[in-house]
């Protein structure tokens, strides 16, 4: 316990974050093995991990680097398709964990390359302009993937932008990406365990990056670009570093998502997906990694929980989003919360809580 | 040879000649002042020296190297550090981390070492921590090390900016109105700190300041700027009695 106290605040806070994820994993595994989790909820475990990774990685761009990106789904799809193609061609014949890991690595690298290529022109822009251009790139990636036909036979890979017949596959050749229909008939590979490992890996990369020399340089650009330059920080280099890391992780999340389904189509990775992830980041707190995890998990499951409300589902969902936003961000409500907290802390039970809260303050 | 040689530097924004025919010589380890009425172009001179603006004419030589037109980060790495008139700290980061950013190019390790905590990470971080705390102690900021920079009172924010600039190990330090908004006792204290820094770090300092007691108190040599041109230069005494300077400040012909 003593060593826990002398530990650096940031280290302790990070351990709590890892703890939350591992705790979630253990509880879910217990619920599944006890048969207490409905089928639809079980089906959501991998997507939850996907969206947690997406939210944490987007937070690296939005919260840590301080640049608004609306094209996160584009990186996700670039990773998803490249990883899935690898899986169909080679991964299926490997042991599942190895195939999945390699597919993720390939998806991450491809998305990272996209991040680099897009980042060079895009990161010269700031604010709204950057948001608009990233949005456009996300849509471009989606539309290009919609038009791609890819197949393979004994001669190797065949590629076309017109239709599957133009691939000229020989007898026994297989179409992998069939234009807007995408990839079909995939063998699933993603598991909840793999998802949690990816979440932990993402946290490891992002949290360690933030608490290092490079991470400080990235944050200094967010806080004051002009001062960062005057202090000798290579702004372009560190902006790209954050952007590429963010894209790499989104690509890996895309593979996790793709290999959880038997069919993969590009239209799933549209503007709405990018915005959804951004909503998780904003509501969890910009720059707050732990908040992103919780917001992504809760807000992803919420529509499912509200299914009983039928037609009013999305209305209630929207209202909840607004209320959470006001509760977290509005200065008046934040002040009111502090007042209520003060009053409550005269009562014995809440006094203990207040002590705990004080200890964890400033760690978020 | 002088540490910094500014030769015939000028900049025009469209038709407006903001600075013209600027000649300055700054020797190693000495303390210089740059004064002039409002709008004379003092901060523009700083922006020219640090690469924020690219001169439309002339050359800037630092330690024998031509740095004219280099990017700000490169100029900082070459050895010129600065503070800003309107304080520019990394607000959301701690006081300590602000200084660690200053040490960015002094103590280096790669991104991979940072992410995977490879050997060397701990050692380098400890070095950074040690050096940053040493600097903070000089500016009496060590007790606030873990507070966010934005929570510091104004005077301490100014000091933190100087500490951050010094962390980059400059040969020349540019201070843009370091005593602005300070009361007499605070600016007296700052004067002593600046003198101490000049000796301790053996750094040349060029400062812009409106407080004449401050400038006359510590600067060994003073440049006076008016309408973007140097109208007088010399020791405090000679400046004080220069009719051109008096005219520039008080009007007249």
How far does B84 lie from chain A, in Å, by closest CA? Answer: 8
| A228 close to B (CB below 8 A) | yes
Taking the C-alpha atoms of residue A117 and residue A102, their distance in angstroms, rounded to an integer, is 23
| A287 close to B (CB below 8 A) | yes
Which residues in B lie closer than 8 A to residue A8 (C-beta atoms)?
Answer: none
CA distances from B246 to A30, B37, B213 (A): 84, 10, 16
Which residues in A lie closer than 8 A to residue B97 (C-beta atoms)?
Answer: 216, 219
B64-81, pLDDT tens digit by residue?
999 999 999 999 999 999
| DSSP structural state of residue A62 | I
**Which of B76, B104, B128 minimises the CB distance to A217?**
B104
- Which helix (H) or strand (E) element contains residue B217? helix B212-218
In order of their start, the domains of chain B are 1-79+170-253 (3.40.50.300), 90-168 (no CATH)
Q: Which of the pair, A1 or A352, is modelled with greater confidence? A: A352
Q: Residue A157: beta bridge partners?
A: A152
Q: Which of the pair, A200 or A12, is modelled with greater confidence? A: A200
Sequence-ordered strand ranges (E) for B100-151: none
Phi, psi of B153 (to 5 degrees): -65, 160
C-beta atoms of A212 and B77 within 8 A: no
In order of their start, the domains of chain A are 13-311 (1.10.3470)
| B144 close to A (CB below 8 A) | no
Closest-approach residue (CA) in chain B for A203? B115
Do A51 and A281 meet the contact criterion of CB atoms below 8 Å apart? no
Closest-approach residue (CA) in chain A for B98? A220
- The strand order across the sheet containing B4-13 reads B16-26, B4-13, B57-62, B65-66
Closest-approach residue (CA) in chain A for B167? A231
**In the prediction, which pLDDT does A3 show?**
54
Residue A268: CB atoms within 10 A of its CB come to 18
Taking the C-alpha atoms of residue B202 and residue B196, their distance in angstroms, rounded to an integer, is 10
Q: Which is it for strands B65-66 and B204-208: parallel, antiparallel or unpaired?
A: unpaired
Taking the C-alpha atoms of residue B75 and residue B135, their distance in angstroms, rounded to an integer, is 22
Do B20 and B8 meet the contact criterion of CB atoms below 8 Å apart? no
Do A27 and A213 meet the contact criterion of CB atoms below 8 Å apart? no
Structure ipTM: 0.93
The structure tokens listed for B187 are 């600016």
Disruptive mutation site among B87, B94, B107, B114 for chain A (greatest number of A CBs within 10 Å):
B114
pLDDT at A120 over 60: yes
C-beta atoms of B111 and A208 within 8 A: no
Sequence-ordered strand ranges (E) for B100-203: 172-176
Taking the C-alpha atoms of residue B210 and residue A357, their distance in angstroms, rounded to an integer, is 47
**Which of B71, B89, B100 minimises the CB distance to A216?**
B100
Which residues in B lie closer than 8 A to residue A7 (C-beta atoms)?
Answer: none
Do A85 and A186 meet the contact criterion of CB atoms below 8 Å apart? no
**Which of A204, A205, A223 minimises the CB distance to B90?**
A223
Which residues in A lie closer than 8 A to residue B104 (C-beta atoms)?
Answer: 213, 216-217, 231-233
**Which of B 40-69 lie inside 8 A of A, CB atoms?**
50, 52
B138-157, pLDDT tens digit by residue?
999 999 999 999 999 988 99
- For the entire predicted model, the pTM comes to 0.90
| A227 close to B (CB below 8 A) | yes
A263-318, pLDDT tens digit by residue?
999 999 999 999 999 999 998 988 999 999 999 999 999 888 887 777 787 788 88
A218-255, pLDDT tens digit by residue?
999 999 999 999 999 999 999 999 999 999 999 999 99
pLDDT at A349 over 70: no
Which residues in B lie closer than 8 A to residue A214 (C-beta atoms)?
Answer: 110-111, 114
**Which of A9, A223, A235 minimises the CB distance to B93?**
A223
Q: Which of the pair, A315 or B36, is modelled with greater confidence? A: B36
B91-118, pLDDT tens digit by residue?
999 999 999 999 999 999 999 999 999 9
Which residues in A lie closer than 8 A to residue B91 (C-beta atoms)?
Answer: 223-224
Radius of gyration of chain A (CA): 22
Do A190 and A259 meet the contact criterion of CB atoms below 8 Å apart? yes
Percent of chain B with pLDDT over 90: 85
**Which of A 155-214 lie inside 8 A of B, CB atoms?**
204-205, 208-209, 211-214
Q: How many CB pairs under 8 A join A and B?
A: 97
């Amino acid at each position: 316990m003593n060593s826990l106290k002398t530990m650096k605040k940031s280290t302790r806070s990070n351990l709590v974050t890892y703890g939350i994820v591992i705790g979630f994993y253990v509880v879910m595994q217990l619920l599944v093995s006890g048969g207490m989790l409905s089928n639809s909820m079980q089906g959501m475990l991998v997507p939850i991990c996907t969206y947690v990774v997406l939210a944490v990685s987007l937070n690296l761009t939005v919260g840590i680097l301080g640049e608004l990106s609306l094209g996160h789904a584009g990186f996700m799809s670039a990773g998803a398709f490249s990883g899935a193609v690898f899986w169909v061609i080679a991964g299926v014949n490997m042991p599942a964990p190895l195939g999945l890991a390699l597919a993720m690595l390939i998806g991450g690298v491809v998305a990272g390359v996209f991040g680099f290529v897009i980042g060079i022109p895009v990161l010269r822009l700031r604010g709204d302009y950057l948001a608009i251009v990233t949005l456009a790139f996300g849509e471009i990636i989606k539309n290009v993937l919609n038009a791609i036909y890819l197949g393979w036979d004994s001669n190797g890979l065949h590629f076309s932008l017109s239709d599957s017949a133009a691939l000229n596959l020989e007898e026994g050749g297989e179409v992998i990406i069939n234009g807007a229909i995408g990839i079909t008939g995939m063998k699933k590979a993603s598991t909840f365990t793999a998802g949690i490992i990816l979440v932990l890996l993402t946290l490891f990369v992002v949290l360690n990056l933030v608490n290092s020399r490079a991470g400080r340089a990235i944050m200094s650009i967010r806080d004051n670009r002009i001062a960062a330059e005057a202090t000798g920080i290579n702004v372009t280099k560190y902006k790209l570093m954050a952007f590429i890391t963010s894209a790499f992780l989104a690509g890996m999340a895309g593979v996790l998502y793709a290999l959880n389904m038997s069919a993969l189509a590009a239209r799933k990775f549209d503007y709405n997906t990018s915005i959804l992830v951004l909503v998780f980041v904003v509501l969890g707190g910009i720059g707050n990694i732990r908040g992103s995890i919780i917001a992504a998990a809760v807000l992803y499951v919420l529509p499912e929980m509200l299914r009983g409300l039928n037609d009013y589902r999305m209305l209630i969902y929207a209202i909840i989003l607004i209320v959470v936003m006001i509760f977290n961000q509005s200065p008046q409500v934040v002040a009111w919360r502090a007042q209520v907290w003060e009053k409550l802390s005269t009562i014995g039970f809440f006094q203990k809580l207040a002590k705990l809260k004080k200890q964890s303050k400033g760690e978020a | 040879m002088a540490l910094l040689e500014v030769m015939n530097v000028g900049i025009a924004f469209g038709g407006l000649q903001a600075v013209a025919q600027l000649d300055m010589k700054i020797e190693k380890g000495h303390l210089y002042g740059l004064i002039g009425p409002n709008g004379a172009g003092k901060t523009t001179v700083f922006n020219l020296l640090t690469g924020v603006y690219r001169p439309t004419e002339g050359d800037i030589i630092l330690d024998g190297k031509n740095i004219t037109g280099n990017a700000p980060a490169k100029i900082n790495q070459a050895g010129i550090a600065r503070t800003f008139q309107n304080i520019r700290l990394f607000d959301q980061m701690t006081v300590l981390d602000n200084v660690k950013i200053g040490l960015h190019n002094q103590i280096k390790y790669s991104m991979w070492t940072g992410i995977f905590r490879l050997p060397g990470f701990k050692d380098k971080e400890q070095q950074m921590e040690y050096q940053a705390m040493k600097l903070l102690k000089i500016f009496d900021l060590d007790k606030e090390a873990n507070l966010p920079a934005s929570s510091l009172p104004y005077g301490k924010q100014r000091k933190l900016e100087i500490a951050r600039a010094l962390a980059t190990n400059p040969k020349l330090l540019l201070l843009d109105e370091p005593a602005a908004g300070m009361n007499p006792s605070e600016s007296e204290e700052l004067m002593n700190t600046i003198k101490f820094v000049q000796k301790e770090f053996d750094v040349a300092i060029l400062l812009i300041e409106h407080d004449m007691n401050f400038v006359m108190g510590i600067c060994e040599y003073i440049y006076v700027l008016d309408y973007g041109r140097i109208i007088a230069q010399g020791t405090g005494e000679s400046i004080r009695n220069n009719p051109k300077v008096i005219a520039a400040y008080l009007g007249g012909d």
